[in-house]
Amino acid sequence: MTEIADLLSHAADGGRISPAEALLLYTDAPLHGLGEAADTVRRRRYPDNIATYIIDRNINYTNVCVTACKFCAFYRAPGHAEGWTHPDEEILRRCGEAIDLGATQIMLQGGHSPELGIEWYERIFAAIKRDYPSLVLHSLGASEVVHISRTSGLDYAEVISRLKAAGLDSFAGAGAEILVKRPRTAIAPLKEDGETWLSVMETAHGLGLESTATFMMGTGETNAERIEHLRMVRDVQDRTGGFRSFIPWTYQAENNHLKGRTQATSLEYLRMIAVARLFFDNVNHLQGSWLTTGKDIGQLTLHFGADDLGSVMLEENVVSSAGARHRSNRTELIDLIRSSGRIPAQRDTLYNHLTVHHDPALDPVDDRVHSHFSSTVSSTSLRLLPVSPAAASAAS
């Protein structure tokens, strides 16, 4: 235990730890000591004691997808009767609703539809920036870049450059899941490998588009593979500095092919949060997930190194399709942060503080600002895309 105590002290003081040391802490460190060390790092980085949240909307523009990830309950294969893609006007309507509810950021996320090439994304991004110039487009991810590259016959750098020119402000960490080869192949055999995902992000960082990095825990990976995922992200961050935050979350087990055969426990999740704060000496922000773990565990992450509780999430349908039932609103998130002994603040995409809620008497009150404000699918807002026989065959 002396070795673990020394490691915790070293990491708490800001020293870099190796992957092997991170694995030892993850598996063997006493929970309270691990959390205390991570919180020490957080307090040194953010001595103002502020914890943040953001108001945004995830607009899931299509559920048509050829990738068929085994953990996904959202997608439908091309040609499926339940496949849909939102028309431009519906996406813009949802952006307008988001603005009205105080959102500062839009996350456009969707399936890898064979019918959507670079021109579709350019048109949508340009339209959003034209009609709602204050909205930040923190959208897509490396997997979408790979998909657009295939549908449009462009290299990754050209896809990224054209998306940026059309209005994309930064990439989400979508599609990372787990970057390590064995478990990634097991759950998403048709998706690009982890090295490609990281290469696309590194290219984006070099072209001036920052991003986040994510990790989906609980799909059958080993403890060592969990730490290897962190190592792969940190190595790229050493070269680019382009990951603004790290966002781990837990696999949801309903309505998908994995069917919950493996899942991460709340304890494993909290240990991962703490180890991530100690390991990522080069990533500024760490976000705890209330959506997949529940608000009680989300709040506890603020004592294990997290400085952000993510989004009120006016709309989200991919993770919730797999069983995430947790809902929240702005009042609840502010209360969760304040009752954990922290000062709540609404942030923007760059983590600038927009409003710091020092005085509870001045807290915003708006019952409309809650998660899952609108479902993705309604009978009046869909347009089914025609699918070519070749595309349908490729997805079968």
Query: Can you tell me the distance from the alpha carbon of 141 to that of 213, in angstroms, rounded to the nearest whole number?
Result: 10
Dihedral over alpha carbons 229, 235, 237, 238 (to 10 degrees): 160
Is residue 156 within 8 Å of 145, Cβ to Cβ?
A: yes
Residue-range domains of the chain with CATH? 47-395 (3.20.20.70)
pLDDT of residue 370: 57
As a whole number, mean pLDDT of residues 41-54 equals 97
Burial of 361 (0-12, 13-18, 19+ CB in 10 A): exposed
Query: Can you tell me the distance from the alpha carbon of 289 to that of 248, in angstroms, rounded to the nearest whole number?
Result: 7
φ and ψ of 38, to 5 deg: -65, -40
- For the stretch 159-199, pLDDT in tens is 999 999 999 999 999 899 999 999 999 988 989 999 999 99
The closest of 61, 198, 205, 210 to 143, measured between CA atoms, is 198
Mean pLDDT over each residue of the chain, to the nearest integer: 87
DSSP type of residue 345: E
Is residue 280 within 8 Å of 13, Cβ to Cβ?
A: no
The closest of 324, 326, 318, 259 to 299, measured between CA atoms, is 326
pLDDT of residue 328: 60
For the cut 70, the answer to whether the pLDDT of residue 226 exceeds it is yes
Band the pLDDT of 71: cuts 50, 70, 90: low
Q: Say which amino acid occupies 188.
A: A
- For the stretch 118-152, pLDDT in tens is 999 999 999 999 999 999 999 999 999 999 999 99
From start to end of the chain, where are the E strands?
A: 50-54, 56-60, 105-109, 136-139, 170-171, 211-217, 243-250, 285-286, 308-311, 343-347, 353-356
pLDDT of residue 142: 96
